[in-house]
Structure 1
Amino acid sequence: MSSTSILFTIQQNIGRYGLSTLLILGNFGNLFTILILGRSLKQKMNSCSLYLFSASISNWIVINTGLVSNIIGIDHTDPQHTSNIICKLRWSGVHALLMLSRSFMVAACIDRWAVCSQNLTIRTFSRPYIARRIIIILLIVWTIIPIHVVIFFNNSTGRCIPLPGIYTLFYAIYSLIIIGIVPLLLMIVFSFRAWQNLQLTHTRVLPTGYNIRNIQIRKRDRDLLKMLTGEVFIYFLTTVPYPINQIYNVSTSSITAYKSSIRIEIESLIGYIVSPLLNFTYCCVQFYIYILCSQSLVDIIKREQGHFDAECILFIDLKSRNLNDANCLSICRNIIILNLNNNNLTNVRNFGVFTQLKILLLAQNQIHSLDGLQSCENLETLNIAGNNLTGLKSLSPLLQLTQLRSLCLNDRQNNLTNPLCNSTSYQKDVKNNLPNLDILDNEWIGQSFQEHLSSLESMIEQLENPDKNLKENSTEKSSTIVTNATNSDQSIRSANEEYEQLLQSIRMLVK
């Protein structure tokens, strides 16, 4: 078998098996994406999800028209080569649908940049009603632009190709700019700008009332941004080679007669891999990119299949359940409040996985060691009364818990204690070893009430004499206030009302 025959066989097998695989994966992925995003949009309208939803519909249509046409042409005569009408409709329709999908992805990247922006005017772009209008505009635009394909594509040579000559050069340049450069450049620029904005949204200065607030982008928005970043990468790999191949074909068309048969066959194989294989790959793998980049989408799929995500559990109450250990809870890594009072626990060795835990209730167990709690770095409240802690050394794991504010070793009201509490100096020893504690055994040991009262009176004095406070800090804060010095009368009245309410609340607290 000659080299040209081998290359031709390889090309046929790529088409027969590769395109068929893409058809299956593309249908499954796009239909699943449409289903998931459709349900999500019913619950809460989201502009970026609208763009992704529209792109998935475009992809599903194009793979069941253009891709199917290519698969038919492997072992049968492709209708586009025999019917001029089908030729024109096939190329103009596929081009329009592919460009719609690409345009929706560009719009989604711009939308993520807008939603992360600190500029209120820019943020208005990420509104569902704006997204619907842009989708309609893009539908109209990409219905009109491909008219040149309808005019200049035909099958007079026995194959459906652009007319040789000037239009072939125009189509190659058009493909390079409209398909290869512009969408990719826009995706990269706005995805990068969105990522920059995301880093800046931890804190923002809001003009009204000169308040500084923490503004966090929701996890869904972060996932959408990661999905779009994956899209940009796949777009580069699958779409950019097409216009490059078009430019190459045009630039070497004048020496076609001098090309060897093996070179022609190699160029044909490369061209076939670039289009249709890579061209349609972009339309078929988006769902799988979403799966790799978005944990939220994985969670949705699990829920659709009846699976439950244990990491979503934030509160567990297993009081009086006769438990000997808590190993079964290790999959619930994001617990914030855990109540295991009145069980048979003897240790807390496996509690290190609960890094988000803030409140832990372990009263009335048989615990003799706190080893394992040192990893619960966010723990604020611990009730360990009614256990078997025998010495101050058993509390050593708590030394690393800088957030711990409340500790109960001896609950006198419920007659729950520990052997170490028999020492008359245990409270003093605990205070010395855990200086950050405010509450020990349900009693306040932190800053005295009089110190609290003085702090509150000082706060009231500052609030009642804002001019004095302003003068003392004018040099330090003038640069940040001047830029935000324009407020409407309504905003000022609202701020004054909030100020008076705050002042009144503090007075009542002091009384």
Structure 2
Amino acid sequence: MEPQGERAGESDGVRITAQMLKAWSGEFALESILLLKLCGLGLMDLGCLGECLGLEWLDLSSNTLTHLGPLASLRQLAVLNVSSNRLTGLEPLASCESLQSLNVAGNLLAGVGHLQCLAGLQRLEHLRLQDPLARLSNPLCNNPSYRAAVGELLPGLKVIDGERVSGQGSEFYQLCRDLDKSLHRGSGPISALPPGEVKPWVEPSYWKPPKEQDSSILEDACRQFQDTVQECQELSRKADATLAQAKEALRPPSGDTTSFVF
């Protein structure tokens, strides 16, 4: 049976307690907890979560949280998922100086100004405000230009809503768009054919090589593509090494893995 949090009343929701955290993590000291997955538990009060000073990875998605006060003391926190809650502000996160990835999709953030508190987080690179696949968003995302505003407010971001906004990836994407334009694909309807004749899928000129003056764009795109593939391979290698280290660190001495989040 999974450990449950304490309830202060019928309408107060679940409150995190030290007993709950120790049961979920398998640790005897809150300061020793590195990873926690506490999603979908009806949490409304983070209780003593702020005492987990060594916490690096935290999933609080799909709860009923309206504030993140206790998280202000988590200086080691690098990854935080608070999607699908009831947050209207993120001010406590201003103290989470190690934060690198933040998912706040599916909350009640009404404007880009609510992200001002994140401006001092030098390591923050990934921010998700909406997730179309999960049908999660924030009111601020109703503004068509919100991504540009977020990028201006937080220039250190590399990824917004899963889309790369800086670095090699975005440059390669732009090159692909330029290349597609140079090929004039889909530029105009296909002429009507007499009845009974098969209509071609594309214009005969579709497969022709680009004009000579556009060859530099193709060369740049190919070079950027190769660089991007190499970068992805290197990131994959580093990710595999990090996962292996995490699994080793999470392996309990007794061999019983049921008390851990993974």
**Alignment TM-score, normalising by the size of structure 2:** 0.56
Give the structure 2 partner of residue 166 of structure 1. Answer: none
Matched, 1:320 2:27: no
> What is the distance in 1 between the residues matched to 2:162 and 2:55?
24
| Aligned-pair CA distance for 1:328 | 2.1
Q: 8 Å contact 2:78–2:100 — kept in the other structure? A: yes
Residue among 354, 361, 384 paired with 2:74: 354
- Which residues of structure 1 form unaligned runs of 5+? 1-306, 462-504
Residue among 57, 60, 71 paired with 1:337: 57
Give the structure 2 partner of residue 390 of structure 1. Answer: 110
The secondary structure found in structure 2 opposite 1:372 is helix
Q: 8 Å contact 2:49–2:70 — kept in the other structure? A: no
> What is the distance in 2 between the residues matched to 1:352 and 1:415?
29
| Aligned-pair CA distance for 1:457 | 6.1
| Aligned-pair CA distance for 1:449 | 2.7
| Aligned-pair CA distance for 1:506 | 3.8
Give the structure 2 partner of residue 419 of structure 1. Answer: 139
**What whole-Å deviation, never above 9, does each CA across 1:406-455 have from its counterpart, x for those lacking one?**
0000111111000111111111100111111111011111124375797x
For 1:35-114, what aligned pairs fall within 5 Å after superposition?
Answer: none
> What is the distance in 2 between the residues matched to 1:506 and 1:354?
35
Residue among 65, 83, 99 paired with 1:379: 99
Paired positions, count? 159
| Aligned-pair CA distance for 1:365 | 0.2
More strand per residue: 1 or 2?
2
Percent identity between matched residues is 35
The secondary structure found in structure 1 opposite 2:45 is coil
More helix per residue: 1 or 2?
1
**What whole-Å deviation, never above 9, does each CA across 1:154-182 have from its counterpart, x for those lacking one?**
xxxxxxxxxxxxxxxxxxxxxxxxxxxxx
Q: Which amino acid aligns with 1:409?
A: L
For 1:406-485, what aligned pairs fall within 5 Å after superposition?
Answer: 406-449=126-169, 451=171
| Aligned-pair CA distance for 1:330 | 1.5
| Aligned-pair CA distance for 1:509 | 5.0
Q: Which amino acid aligns with 2:107?
A: N
- Which residues of structure 2 form unaligned runs of 5+? 1-26, 176-219, 235-262
**What whole-Å deviation, never above 9, does each CA across 1:57-83 have from its counterpart, x for those lacking one?**
xxxxxxxxxxxxxxxxxxxxxxxxxxx
The secondary structure found in structure 1 opposite 2:137 is coil
Query: Who wins on radius of gyration, i.e. which is larger?
Result: 1
Matched, 1:310 2:33: no
For 1:24-423, what aligned pairs fall within 5 Å after superposition?
Answer: 308-423=28-143
> What is the distance in 1 between the residues matched to 2:69 and 2:47?
9
| Aligned-pair CA distance for 1:350 | 2.0
| Aligned-pair CA distance for 1:508 | 9.3
RMSD: 2.8
Q: Could you say if the C-alpha distance between residues 393 and 342 of structure 1 is closer, same or farther in structure 2, counting changes exceeding 3 Å?
A: same
Q: Could you say if the C-alpha distance between residues 439 and 507 of structure 1 is closer, same or farther in structure 2, counting changes exceeding 3 Å?
A: closer
Q: Could you say if the C-alpha distance between residues 326 and 428 of structure 1 is closer, same or farther in structure 2, counting changes exceeding 3 Å?
A: same
Q: Which amino acid aligns with 1:416?
A: L
> What is the distance in 1 between the residues matched to 2:85 and 2:231?
43
Q: Could you say if the C-alpha distance between residues 408 and 506 of structure 1 is closer, same or farther in structure 2, counting changes exceeding 3 Å?
A: closer
Q: Could you say if the C-alpha distance between residues 450 and 395 of structure 1 is closer, same or farther in structure 2, counting changes exceeding 3 Å?
A: closer
**Alignment TM-score, normalising by the size of structure 1:** 0.29
| Aligned-pair CA distance for 1:345 | 0.4
Question: After TM superposition, where is structure 1 displaced by more than 6 Å over at least 4 residues in a row?
Answer: none
Q: Could you say if the C-alpha distance between residues 414 and 308 of structure 1 is closer, same or farther in structure 2, counting changes exceeding 3 Å?
A: same
The secondary structure found in structure 2 opposite 1:338 is strand
